[in-house]
Amino acid sequence: MTCRLALADGTVVRGRAFGATGQGIRQAAEVVFNTAMTGYQESMTDPSYTGQILVLTAPLIGNVGVNNEDVESGGVTIAGLVCRELARKHSNFRASDDLDSYLRESGVLAMDRIDTRALTRRLRADGVMAGVISDDESVSDEELVELACSAPSMQGANYAEQVSCAVEEDWAEGLGEWFPKGAESENAPVVLAVDCGAKHNTLRHLIARGCAVRKIPFDFDADEVIRKFEAGQVHGVFVSNGPGDPQAVASVIASLRKLLSDDAPKIPVLGICLGHQLLALASGAASFKLPFGHRGTNQPVRNDRTGRVEITSQNHGFAIDPSSLDSSCCEATHTHLNDGTLAGFRRTDRPVWAVQYHPEASPGPHDAGYVYDEFVASVHSQTPSVS
């Protein structure tokens, strides 16, 4: 069955449909690319890809199938998938299903047998743009391009409200086979995880370091968080990754601004990816949309404090203007070496850290795992010791 991807610039590519075929799907979304060689299931279930059609540049996809352990959220979050070749057979002892069936059950249309590298070069040259993926042969190429042109823009889009949890809830999912067992203690420090689209492995890293994790909705009450911190019921705040334009998530920015105000207690806070952007905006900085974003597991970042270069996992389409950081209270700590964009900062007046990448590395290298160590050390310092 033929499938087409039409871009807003008039480009139309044809390939073979798989996944949720035969349903007349005409899915319009922003088209982005990811250069990772592994981890396609983690990427497809990452809430940060909400509202996007994902192009994978690795030439063979589906070769290790899918399993229940590598899911990063409640299910597949992408709007569509584009790859060079779908593996005819999967082979891995952890696999419980094949990629084709997995996408079909998730209602997501996918396509292969196209030159994804050529498509990526176009998106790099002209910037990511809206597109439509469809296996509906009754629709002309011109109509698909028109649909792509009318797709909603990622700028101004608040997708965090779509992917956040609805109510506060304890998160105690098993650590899985790749994690050391977390410390079990009634005196474990409590971290509130502001859920803007949190990946499971971000929370697992906190649990593995001996924290109790409680997810809270994106539109949380800052006054209630402060009250719980002062009462010793909460010991730190984690602001998660997530999709969309950070400037559109105004309620989180306002709540974080209150947590960071001069008269607020000095609560340890860590933000990653979207959380990094939201903490920067709450600190007075400005964000902008990148031409084609940073999406992959081989993104080089320099730790400006040590000079060490770290290879990181990233997935974002917006960035913070480093010149907009308030030097009276903020210090840049990390720089993306491909384009010089801000990859991390800290507050100099309180225990607040933020990085633009995914230190949980799911998928990706573990160079940046120390980010969790620094945050959790500060969180543990808020917990009274047991005599």
pLDDT digits 0-9 by tens, 123-172: 999 999 999 999 999 999 999 999 999 998 999 999 999 999 999 999 98
Per CATH, domain 2-149 is 3.40.50.970: no
pLDDT digits 0-9 by tens, 21-58: 999 999 999 999 999 999 999 999 999 999 999 999 99
pLDDT digits 0-9 by tens, 207-228: 989 999 999 999 999 999 999 9
Distance, in Å, from the CA atom of 219 to the CA atom of 242, rounded to the nearest integer, reads 14
Distance, in Å, from the CA atom of 367 to the CA atom of 324, rounded to the nearest integer, reads 28
Two domains, one topology: 2-149 and 160-380: no
Respond yes or no on whether the N-terminal peptide bond of residue 351 is cis (omega within 30° of 0). no
- Helix ranges (H only) for the chain are 40-44, 99-106, 116-126, 141-149, 160-163, 200-208, 222-230, 250-259, 274-282, 370-380
Per CATH, domain 160-380 is 3.40.50.880: yes
For the chain, which residues make up each domain, given as ranges?
Answer: 2-149, 160-380
pLDDT for 184? 60
pLDDT for 56? 98
Q: What is the DSSP string of 44-90?
A: HT-GGGTTEEEEE-SSEESTT-B-SSS--SSS---SEEE-SEE-SS-
30: number of Cβ within 10 Å: 24
Instruction: State the catalytic residues.
Output: 273, 358, 360
The tokens for 282 are 């709450």
**C-beta separation of 382 from 231 below 8 A:** no
pLDDT for 172? 82
Average of per-residue pLDDT across 363-368: 85
